[in-house]
């Protein structure tokens, strides 16, 4: 019953708070791609993998009063801060979600910046390609972000470290 909503609420609850829609998108994509059973489907958009279904679910949760969305002005643009409301916590108490080791992974991702998570998620999105092909994709499709070779290498290492945290090794 509303299991997919509960999973997402659980993700935000264990992350304590998530700042930025892009960051939220990338965290869930990376978690899903690595090991965790999120149902939202992703496609490639401006900032890498993006899920319309996830955007939709977040909006639903806000409308239901389970999630709190705070719009904040940051520099020249707005960003959004997501936390669970008290009602959301009550809902999650009734609809417990069992995803051990998700918290470790999400807290780690939450400490990274959205730009790096965008790179990590893009690398994962093209994971069936060779490293050289992935680099070419990153440098072509993400030319405005000006990622370096070194950053792509870091992304690969980071993915491995997350897999270890998720207990995949």
Positions touching another protein (CB under 8 A) are 1-2, 5, 20-22, 25, 37, 39, 41, 43-47, 50, 56, 59-60, 63-66, 76-80, 87, 91, 94-95, 126, 137, 140-141
Shorter beta-carbon distance to another protein: residue 66 or 158: 66
Distance CA 124, CA 110 (A): 17
Minimum CB–partner distance for residue 67 and another protein (Å): 11
> Would you list the DSSP string of 120-153?
HHHHHHTTTS-HHHHHHHHHHHTGGGT--HHHHH
Minimum CB–partner distance for residue 169 and another protein (Å): 20
Minimum CB–partner distance for residue 7 and another protein (Å): 13
Shorter beta-carbon distance to another protein: residue 83 or 104: 83
Phi, psi dihedrals of residue 101, rounded to the nearest 5°: 70, 0
Nearest to 6 by CA among 42, 60, 51: 60
Ramachandran assignment for 101, one of left (phi > 0), alpha (psi -120 to 50 degrees), beta (any other):
left
Shorter beta-carbon distance to another protein: residue 69 or 104: 69
Shorter beta-carbon distance to another protein: residue 2 or 107: 2
Minimum CB–partner distance for residue 50 and another protein (Å): 5
Shorter beta-carbon distance to another protein: residue 60 or 104: 60
> Would you list the DSSP string of 1-55?
--HHHHHHHHHHHHHS-EE-HHHHHHHHHHHHHHT-------EEETTEEE-HHHH
Minimum CB–partner distance for residue 111 and another protein (Å): 19
């Amino acid at each position: 019953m509303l299991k997919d909503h509960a999973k997402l609420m659980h993700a935000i609850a264990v992350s304590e708070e998530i700042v930025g829609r892009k960051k939220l998108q990338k965290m869930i994509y990376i978690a899903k791609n690595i090991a965790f059973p999120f149902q939202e489907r992703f496609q490639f958009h401006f900032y890498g993998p993006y899920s319309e279904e996830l955007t939709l679910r977040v909006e639903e949760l806000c409308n239901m009063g389970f999630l709190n969305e705070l719009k904040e002005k940051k520099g020249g643009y707005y960003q959004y801060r997501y936390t669970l409301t008290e009602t959301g916590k009550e809902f999650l108490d009734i609809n417990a979600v069992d995803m051990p080791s998700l918290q470790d992974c999400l807290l780690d991702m939450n400490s990274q910046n959205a730009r790096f998570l965008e790179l990590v998620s893009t690398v994962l999105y093209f994971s069936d390609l060779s490293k050289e092909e992935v680099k070419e994709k990153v440098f072509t499709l993400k030319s405005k972000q000006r990622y370096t070779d070194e950053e792509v290498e870091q992304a690969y290492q980071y993915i491995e470290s997350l897999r270890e945290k998720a207990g995949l090794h």
